[in-house]
Amino acid sequence: MPEGHTVHRVARQFRRDFVGHALAVSSPQGRFAAGAALIDGRVLTGSRAVGKQLFLEFDGGLVLRVHLGLYGAWDFFGRISPITEGMAALGSMGAPRLRRAVRMGEDEQERGAAGAEEPFPPEPVGQVRVRLATGASVADLRGPTACEVLDPESAAAAVARLGLDPATEEDLEAAGAEVARRLTRRAVPIGQLLMDQSVMAGIGNIYRAEMLFRARLDPWTPGRQVPVEAARALWDDWAVLLADGIRTGVMLTREDLDEAGRARALADRSERHWVYGRAGLPCRVCGAPVVVEDMAGRKLYRCPSCQR
């Protein structure tokens, strides 16, 4: 599942190339024809992410809410600006399934081979739920869990249901105190609480496992037993990891790497994480085998020695 950094990058891509333009909106798949008709021809006035959800704002107050879920992805064509200065523009963000692009990172893909000539706009690839187009740029949405047009009140209610997101909070200190309160008031395991999008928004399976290892916390510890300082530290760590993920497009969670090691990890997925995806392999700190367990229907990776 695409995690919060990916959705923030998608929001930035729309701000770079689509905001301020009247968009041609269609549903090549046909499943979103009615919704597309509501916003077709309207000017995109804003684009923002909260956690794993994207909110595209159109003139007249209508909002397109998109939740990629496990299998959703955005594919971009035409004039696509780099999100981060000095880094290449990327053509696909989400669950990478676009065959004519090259996979890059956990959940992003590089644009097609340089010099390849394709008609514009390109024919839709796969089951495209909605297509948003300017005269120079196209965005195709495939496989989302949610895609709906909301009025301003419904959009505000959808945002209100979400937890706190370091990339959107103006007062990180106050937000951190609130997150600590939410994490420590319940008997639910801390590993489950981190995946609760009404507590902290944007954390998925990879960030969950890595944050708990970085904090040396046993994921099965009830929230009520987690010290307030440790709960607050999780928020601070999430702010650091999210900002780095938004900048690079990669979930690189090892803080032990020097500049050369970080460069290797950016190129080699197997070097990026402490415990995630490393079941049976030795812990990078203590050497104990990393274990994988089930928590609320999702895989949970941890070191049974370091995370006591």
Q: Which residues contact 102 (CB under 8 A, 6 or more apart)?
A: 109, 110, 112, 113
Give the list of residues 6+ apart from residue 281 with CB closer than 8 angstroms, or none. Answer: 289, 290
Q: In angstroms, rounded to a whole number, what is the distance separating the alpha carbons of residues 219 and 205?
A: 12
175 phi and psi, to 5 degrees? -65, -40
Catalytic residue among 9, 48, 52, 272: 52
Other C-beta atoms closer than 10 Å to the C-beta of 161 total: 11
> Is-catalytic flag, 52?
yes
Over its C-alpha atoms, the chain yields an Rg (Å, rounded) of 20
298 is catalytic: yes
* Residue 74, strand partner residues: 93, 141
Q: Which two tokens stand for residue 110?
A: 């590089």
Per-residue DSSP letter, 224: G
Tokens representing residue 154 in the block: 């419904």
How far is Cα 96 from Cα 107, in angstroms, rounded to an integer? 6
Nearest to 298 by CA among 204, 207, 188: 204
Of 121, 134, 131, 141, whose CA–CA distance to 43 is shortest?
Answer: 134
Of the residues 15, 100, 269, 298, only one is catalytic, namely 298
Residue 133 corresponds to which amino acid? A
Q: Which of 2, 28, 96, 189 is catalytic?
A: 2
Cis peptide before 122 (omega within 30 of 0): no
Q: Which residues belong to the active site? A: 2-3, 52, 298
